[in-house]
Amino acid sequence: MGFRFAFAALIVAGAAFMPITAGAQSIGIAVGTQGGGLEVGMDISDMLAVRVNGNFFSISRGVSGEDVDYDGDLRLMSFGLLGDLYLFETSFRLTGGGFLNRNKIDLTATPTSSVEIGGTMYAPSQVGNLDGGARFNDFAPYAGLGYTSNRDEPGFSFVFDAGVMFQGGSKVFLNATGPANAIPGFAADLERERRDIKDDIDDFRYYPVLKVGLAYRF
């Protein structure tokens, strides 16, 4: 918990001091696999720069599980502090840093016909509602590469990023509200369903980051 708040404070402090620190400043917008976002940057030297950004996106849609169809809500939210190393004073760079990670998935289902959970069939009246979701690590390290055009001149520049956010294995929970909770063996079946969901979501422990944007340099 302490590390999480320390990282958040570092991001806020970085954003606060950027406008009064020597070096070229930039502000921009971007869109990609993390959603849409805003970014503030500062050049430290010809080869080094730092950036602070925030990224947001949400969507609701049906999700087909192994045996149950869920209504899914995906929320992407992350706040990053990144350092850029420009190669041989060109526009190409290596990037490293980390994100305060608030990505999450919420799942709900209300079966209207018999449904298979963990290999056993249950009636809708037995299951009731299924409520679940997935959470990820609060801190997600990042490594990638990118390109920023027109670094030596004020005005607009094109920005591209490609990398991986290491958000770790998912923490998945799943609960049922119906009387099936009192049936022997249902808890084990529900746990098997939870593990099936986790196996699918864990594919995103290494979250791909692809992003394009437009920045204005002062």
Give me the CATH topology for the region 2-217: Porin (2.40.160)
Residue recorded with tokens 């993390």: 34
Average pLDDT, integer, range 91-102 = 96
Question: Tell me: the pLDDT tens digits for 163-177?
Answer: 999 999 999 999 999
Judge contact between 173 and 133, C-beta under 8 A.
Answer: yes
Q: How far is CA 47 from CA 17, 135, 152, 153, in A?
A: 20, 36, 11, 15
Q: Where are the domains of the chain?
A: 2-217
DSSP 7-20: HHHHHHHHHHHGGG
Backbone angles phi, psi at 94, to 5 degrees: -100, 140
Instruction: Place 65 in a pLDDT band, splitting at 50, 70 and 90.
Output: low
Which pLDDT belongs to residue 12?
A: 42
Nearest to 162 by CA among 147, 146, 141: 146
Residue 51: pLDDT over 80: yes
Question: Tell me: the pLDDT tens digits for 1-40?
Answer: 444 444 444 444 444 444 434 466 999 999 999 999 999 9
Average pLDDT, integer, range 36-45 = 94
Across the chain, mean pLDDT equals: 88
Question: Tell me: the pLDDT tens digits for 127-174?
Answer: 999 999 999 999 999 999 999 998 888 899 999 999 999 999 999 999
Which pLDDT belongs to residue 152?
A: 81
Average pLDDT, integer, range 176-201 = 94
| Helix, strand, coil in percent for the chain, rounding step 5 | 20, 55, 20
